[in-house]
Amino acid sequence: MGRIMQILNIAAYKFVALDGLPELQATLADALQARTIKGTVLLAEEGINLFLAGASADIHDFLAGLRADARFEDLEIKESWSAAQPFRKLLVKIKPEIIRMNHPAIRPSAGRAPAVDAATLTRWLDSGHDDDGRPVVTLDTRNAFEVDVGTFQNAIDWRIAKFTEFPQALLDHREQLQGKTVVSFCTGGIRCEKAAIFMQEAGLTNVYQLDGGILKYFEVSGHTHFEGECFVFDQRRALDPALQPRVNVGAASEG
């Protein structure tokens, strides 16, 4: 008999201009500690990125308070469940970027790259081309060790060791993407959002980000066109297409 999945895990991010970061950091830390929620919240002038876990009532109560702030009222959440708390502690940190790229001119809060939802990507991959007949390729923007756990079939993988290597990898391989519709993807959407903007600025014209990343794709399309599982940066280590943990072993957290 399986273990009861009673811990709600949430992942979310939003690129939005933030000020008063120390005050916001203290407010969120107090709210999370009061509800015994663990995980990581990253704050930067460009937005918020969070991975949290706790009792369902505590998580939803915290989210209601967070969304009372107009800057976060439309925050989209990806949910999954686990039998045990996957995080060891709570961290609420201020960083230069909520996902480090070392390209401060890339500001998604100023305007997103076009996004494609999971159902549309599934349809495109079924047919091998987009609605205009262009060949479709998926581009994995994650680190090589994440890709090794699972990725889309025939996805482009440049074996980067960290996201800061993506811009140069794109410039080195830009020609192989010309004339194709490129869908960048990552775990929850944050890296592929920056990646898609960078690709546009590098001169590629048919570029999309996978809205919600792999986790949202699993919710909508399951394992279709995906091989393996999705690496996550907590003690669950990897989620299968049903968003169930593969193993409960320690894993490093990503800043």
* Residues identified as active-site: 186
Report DSSP state, residue 156: B
* Sign of the torsion angle spanned by Cα atoms 76, 74, 121, 109: negative
Long-range interactions of 221-228: CB distance < 8 A, separation 24+: 221/118, 221/119, 221/121, 221/122, 224/122, 224/125, 225/122, 225/125, 225/126, 225/152, 225/153, 226/150, 226/151, 226/152, 226/153, 227/150, 227/151, 227/152, 227/153, 228/149, 228/150, 228/151
Q: Which two three-digit tokens encode residue 78?
A: 């990806």
Contact predicate 217/121, CB 8 Å: yes
Count of other CB atoms within 10 angstroms of residue 179 = 11
Q: Which two tokens stand for residue 189?
A: 């959407």
Tell how many helices (H) and how many strands (E) occur in the chain: 7, 13
* 3 state DSSP class of 53: strand
